[in-house]
Structure 1
Amino acid sequence: MRESHTRALASLDDDANVTDLLVRRAAEAPDHVAFEVPPPAGAGTDAWSPITTAAFLAEVRSLAKGLIAVGLAPGDAVAIMAPTRYEWAVADLATWFAGGVVVPVYESSSASQVAAIVSDARVRVGIGGGPTHIALLTDALASVDDTIGVWGMDDLPALSARGAGVSDDELEHRRTRAGHDDPATIVYTSGTTGEPKGAVLTHANFLGQVRNIAAAYREVVHPEGNTIIFLPLAHVLARGLQLICIASGMRIAHLADPAAVVPTLATLRPTFLVVVPRVLQKIQAAAGEKAAAKGLSGVWARARATAVAAGRLAERKDAGLPRRIPLGHRVRHAVFDALFYRRLRAVMGGRVDYMLSGGASLDAELSLFFRGLGVPVIEGYGLTETTAPLTGNLPGRIASGTVGLPLPGSTVRISEEGEVLAKGVGVFAGYRDPRHDAEAFVDGFFRTGDLGRLDDAGRLVLEGRVKDVIVTSNGKTIVPVRWEAAVEADPLVQHAVMVGEGKPYLSALLILDAEQAAAWAASAGLPFDAGTPAGLRAVDEPRLHAHLQRTVDAANALVSRSEQVRRFELVVADLDDRELVTPTLKIKRTVVVDRAAETIASLYRGAPS
């Protein structure tokens, strides 16, 4: 199968632009709690404060009037640079109510990156989360003509007060001015393989995604549910999820620090979470470590295997295939549920019905494990240019190892070269700079740059990046993603980078998870320097290397001989370095190869060809 399509489930005729999503929801359920905000720092309480849809709308309208009062014109760009927090949502919607275009800036961006975005998007207003963000935006706007100013999120009430003289009629005129084809946001891609590009997403792109995804996932996103958004709101997935929740009445809490999520789960008890695979790996690894500390490693291994088996049985049921559940399996599952599974669900708050995983490939066995616990993981796939999800598994139709069917209103095609091509309601029309469009489209389809295939049911299976293929000196073309994903399933490995372009065999760099590696070293009585270097630093620890050799051997067993890695080195790196890692935590392969040139060269010295 070379093309798969899912028909649209929703019409966009009732919505002129994105602001209608909030206006309609506020009219339907003004007193419904839309957000929960944390107590002020130092308040000494864990109580989160509710904010109704009507109260949120009032804040949005007030800030929009303030933006109009200070001179924001229709179509003007507003840059928002801040950690994930409630005020981000207010500023986002207020910009649209005032007729502006939102330009999100990752809070970790460097001064040069901020300056480039502000200049390219011709930003007139900046909104920063704190002093550092305000300073970066202020410096960047200083080099742009005809700017208005920069405000901090803690100063937004003062900006809102400046709009007291703006009438409701004027605001309504501004709010309803934009149509389906007008730009809603310019999102600059994180640039794993090249320079960042400004993707222009329209109001129709957001409306098409929100309405169709909400219709397809009613079991997941609904007024009785709640979620925690801790992904950066500069990421289109987080903003798309936020709009879906606002339109569907699902309660939202924001957290800026991912490390604070687990301690907060017991308080907020979400029904749905969006995570990256690394979070799931760490949850599983932490449970294994606790079991080992109690001398229960063998019992935990059997519990893991039982959960995976339960996940497979559940997926057979989803697929309508016959399944027989042996009595022994039911007994084991009940025992392990009492010992482990119930506690893991409690760690996640005890109410999670589903999790959505994206941002990287999810190991099929890890997906089955969580399904067997009773917390299905919905894996999806998308890009900035597709306004977040393009494909996704659906409740009751999850197939681990795939990223699901095209979402309603979308089509996926596989080119002759194996590249994933996309068309549909969320697919953008082009970049801000038309020069970037020349190679981005073919036959009306967007070229994703990802390799994949469609299974017999039309579900997408990802197989790597077009630009990440390696051609060895003997002419073999290697797609490293399967091997790398298998190694990255080890909690000690943050990133695996296969190398070998033009070489007689394949090697790899294993970038360690410094925290996990330090803990392993401590348990083994070994010294380990967890300090983050300015570049990449090789780790010479034979016992750790020998330990991870087993992980490499297991990954090699999954691939053909020509795809196997012969030698590898362990390295540590500063994973907060945005020249090395994108804001969405993807490693920049070319930067790794450049910085680790000497280490890579050592992998080919004195070795047989």
Structure 2
Amino acid sequence: MLESSTPPLAALDGYRNVTDLLVARAAAAPGHVAFEVEDPSTGSWRPITTRGFEEEVRALAKGFMAQDIQAGDPIAIMAPTRYEWAVADLAAWFAGAVVVPIYETSSPSQVNAIVADADVRLAIGGTAEHTALLRDALAKTNTVTLGAWTMDAETTGTLADLVAGGVGVTDEELEARRTTATQDDPATIVYTSGTTGEPKGVVLSHRNFLGQVLNIAAAYSEIVNEDGNTVIFLPLAHVLARGLQLICLASGMRIAHLSDPSTVVATLDTLRPTFLVVVPRVLQKIRAAAAGKAADKGLAGVWAKAEATAIAWGRRAERIDAGRRIARNRGLRVRHRVFDALFYRRLRTVMGGRVGYILSGGAALDTELSLFFRGIGVPVIEGYGLTETTAPLTGNLPGRIASGSVGSPLPGLTVRISDEGEVLARGLGVFSGYRNPAHDEGAFVDGFFRTGDLGRLDEQGRLILEGRLKDVIVTSNGKTIVPTRWESAVEANPLVSHAVMVGEGKPYLSALLVLDPEQARAWAAAEGTSIPVAAPSDIRAVNDPALRAHLQRAVDAANALVARSEQVRRFSVVFADLDDRGLVTPTMKLKRNVVLDRAAVTVEDLYL
């Protein structure tokens, strides 16, 4: 199959722009709790109703207008994930502005480049430090700017000051501005993270957001509804988190924000979400933590059997979903019941005890990891999308999960596979072009956006990803290698944060295994040894025989999955600064060209 489409489930008639989503929800359920916001001083969570949120949005929008924000003006937001981000986002749209999100971890040069390229007029910072970066960036532009303001309540120039300045703007003036933008007007300019080149400004329209929000909400109504709640800890500068927020807001699903992902597990018992969106690494760490606790209690062998049972149970459940006849397996059923009492129930409790589904995106999800979570009673829905597709392009659906695939095109979207195997996309969520028209060159073919990803469609029209078009390796003997399958298999080991296959123009394949700092230190402590930490901007080889022997097993297992010509002969274990935004994107993807540049000596040593 070379093309797969899913018809839309929701019409966009009756919606002028994204703000209508909030207006409609506030009219339908004004007293429904839309957000839970943490009080930093007490740690307690207070509810905010849909009407209360809308009132805050309108008040801040009037403040923007009082500062002379005009329809179509860009407003930048640079802050950690928090409730005020949501208020500022919707308020900018109510004021007719275009939102320019900036990752809170961005460097000064990145902030300067985005502010200048987008012609930002006013900026909102999460902290005084963010605000200072934005203020400096605004000062370097030729645009007449309106200042940088902060979400931090302890300083001057705050959102509260903006609100106070807008009391003279009438409701009629605000309503006229709110309804100015049409579906085809720009809603946001999101700059890509630049894993393979310079960041590009992706212009997403109100139609893109409306199409995705309404259709995804319809497709996943079993999960996203007013009886559920979620915790958003992914960066709101990422279109996936913002899209999720709009879907939840429009559907009445309660939202809590966490700015520090490391606090998520400790908070789940309090918030008890019914649905979570994570990257695969989070799932890997949950599984690894459970294995570590079992080992500490002398139950490593029992845990290994529990893992195998969960995977078998997950595979059985998927076959039932697919309508296949499954032979009764009393032994598996008994083992599952026993291990549920010993381990699985406790894992579900760690996640709050109410999580019905987890959505995984942002990177490839290992098939066994997906089956494991399905087997413990928390199915993982894997999806796929890009900034240019307003986040999800494809996704598995409840009752139709196929581990190893990223699902079928979502409603209103079409996926085509080119003759070269590239994934092409067209439909409601797909953008029309970049801010810089020069970046559009080669980005589209026959009306389809070129994703740059390689993939294939199975007989049910589900997409199976097979790597990046630009990441293929051509060895000196002319073999073309797609490294994704091998890299993903090695990355299933908790110690490996990133696996990078190398070998362009070389006689054989090698690899760099980038250690996960937290897991590596825990492993070293358990082994009674120490591992040197890399210096900033350094990629340093780690020469520990026991560590190398441990990871050799992961390499051997990955090699067993691929053809002989795709197997890695040599590898080097390295430490890198994974907080370095020159090396790692805000969505935690390695910039392969930067890795290869910084580790050039280490790579060459693999071919001596």
63, 74, 78: which one aligns with 1:77: 74
Provide the residue aligned with 1:60 in structure 2: 57
Where 1:63 maps in the other structure, the secondary structure is: helix
One-letter amino acid of the counterpart of residue 186, structure 1: I
Provide the residue aligned with 2:184 in structure 1: 181
Matches of 1:368 and 1:245, distance apart in 2: 27
Where 1:426 maps in the other structure, the secondary structure is: coil
* Structure 2 counterparts to residues 331-410 of structure 1, below 5 A: 331-410=334-413
Matches of 1:411 and 1:441, distance apart in 2: 14
Q: Does 1:35 align with 2:27?
A: no
Provide the residue aligned with 1:262 in structure 2: 265
What is the aligned length?
Answer: 602
* Structure 2 counterparts to residues 35-434 of structure 1, below 5 A: 35-40=35-40, 43=41, 45-144=42-141, 145-154=143-152, 155-434=158-437
Conserved? CA contact 1:4–1:413, under 8 Å: yes
One-letter amino acid of the counterpart of residue 306, structure 1: T
Matches of 2:327 and 2:208, distance apart in 1: 44
Conserved? CA contact 1:205–1:427, under 8 Å: yes
Displaced runs of 4 or more, over 3 A = 530-533
One-letter amino acid of the counterpart of residue 150, structure 2: G
How far 1:531 moved relative to its partner? 4.9
Q: Does 1:2 align with 2:5?
A: no
One-letter amino acid of the counterpart of residue 496, structure 1: A
Matches of 1:531 and 1:476, distance apart in 2: 34
Q: Does 1:515 align with 2:512?
A: no
Matches of 1:272 and 1:480, distance apart in 2: 32
Matches of 2:161 and 2:146, distance apart in 1: 15
Bigger drift between 277-286 and 525-534 goes to 525-534
How far 1:521 moved relative to its partner? 1.2
* Structure 2 counterparts to residues 394-543 of structure 1, below 5 A: 394-543=397-546
1:449-488 deviations in Å (ceiling 9; x for gaps): 0000000100000000000000000000000000000000
Matches of 1:277 and 1:527, distance apart in 2: 27
1:212-263 deviations in Å (ceiling 9; x for gaps): 0000000110001000000000000000000000000000000010000000
1:315-362 deviations in Å (ceiling 9; x for gaps): 011111111231111111110000000000000000000000000000
Q: Does 1:546 align with 2:549?
A: yes
One-letter amino acid of the counterpart of residue 366, structure 1: L
1:399-449 deviations in Å (ceiling 9; x for gaps): 000000000000000000000000010000000000000110000000000
1:119-178 deviations in Å (ceiling 9; x for gaps): 110000000000111011000000222101110013111111101110100000000000
Matches of 1:254 and 1:133, distance apart in 2: 19
One-letter amino acid of the counterpart of residue 39, structure 2: P
User: Closer, same or farther in 2 for the Cα pair 1:228/1:376, shift >3 Å?
Assistant: same
Conserved? CA contact 1:440–1:446, under 8 Å: yes
Matches of 1:104 and 1:590, distance apart in 2: 25
Matches of 2:23 and 2:491, distance apart in 1: 44
Conserved? CA contact 1:84–1:232, under 8 Å: yes
1:22-49 deviations in Å (ceiling 9; x for gaps): 0000000000000000012xx2x33200
User: Closer, same or farther in 2 for the Cα pair 1:407/1:470, shift >3 Å?
Assistant: same
Conserved? CA contact 2:534–2:540, under 8 Å: no
Matches of 1:541 and 1:373, distance apart in 2: 35
Matches of 1:551 and 1:333, distance apart in 2: 27
One-letter amino acid of the counterpart of residue 78, structure 2: M
Matches of 2:177 and 2:516, distance apart in 1: 49
One-letter amino acid of the counterpart of residue 215, structure 1: A
Bigger drift between 22-31 and 534-543 goes to 534-543
How far 1:532 moved relative to its partner? 4.7
Conserved? CA contact 1:518–1:530, under 8 Å: no
One-letter amino acid of the counterpart of residue 520, structure 2: A
Bigger drift between 252-261 and 521-530 goes to 521-530
Where 1:335 maps in the other structure, the secondary structure is: helix
Provide the residue aligned with 2:586 in structure 1: 583
Bigger drift between 422-431 and 140-149 goes to 140-149
1:271-304 deviations in Å (ceiling 9; x for gaps): 0000000000010011111111111111111111
How far 1:313 moved relative to its partner? 1.1
Where 2:121 maps in the other structure, the secondary structure is: strand
One-letter amino acid of the counterpart of residue 139, structure 1: D
Conserved? CA contact 1:484–1:497, under 8 Å: yes
One-letter amino acid of the counterpart of residue 50, structure 2: T
1:59-114 deviations in Å (ceiling 9; x for gaps): 00000000000110000000000000000000000000000000000001111111
What TM-score do you get using the length of structure 1 for normalisation?
0.98
Provide the residue aligned with 1:11 in structure 2: 11
Matches of 2:91 and 2:529, distance apart in 1: 54
Paired-residue identity, %:
73
What TM-score do you get using the length of structure 2 for normalisation?
0.98
How far 1:527 moved relative to its partner? 2.0
Matches of 1:197 and 1:397, distance apart in 2: 35
Where 1:270 maps in the other structure, the secondary structure is: coil
One-letter amino acid of the counterpart of residue 153, structure 1: M
Matches of 1:518 and 1:48, distance apart in 2: 34
Where 2:92 maps in the other structure, the secondary structure is: helix
How far 1:267 moved relative to its partner? 0.2
Conserved? CA contact 1:533–1:572, under 8 Å: no
Matches of 2:518 and 2:164, distance apart in 1: 46
Conserved? CA contact 1:515–1:530, under 8 Å: no
Where 2:555 maps in the other structure, the secondary structure is: helix
Root mean square deviation of aligned Cα: 0.7
Bigger drift between 312-321 and 399-408 goes to 312-321
Matches of 2:126 and 2:29, distance apart in 1: 30
Matches of 1:203 and 1:405, distance apart in 2: 24
One-letter amino acid of the counterpart of residue 539, structure 2: L
1:369-413 deviations in Å (ceiling 9; x for gaps): 000111000000000000000000000000000000000000000
How far 1:198 moved relative to its partner? 0.2
One-letter amino acid of the counterpart of residue 146, structure 1: V
1:177-224 deviations in Å (ceiling 9; x for gaps): 000100000000000000000000000000000000000000110001
Conserved? CA contact 2:498–2:513, under 8 Å: yes
Q: Which runs of 5+ in 1 are unaligned?
A: none
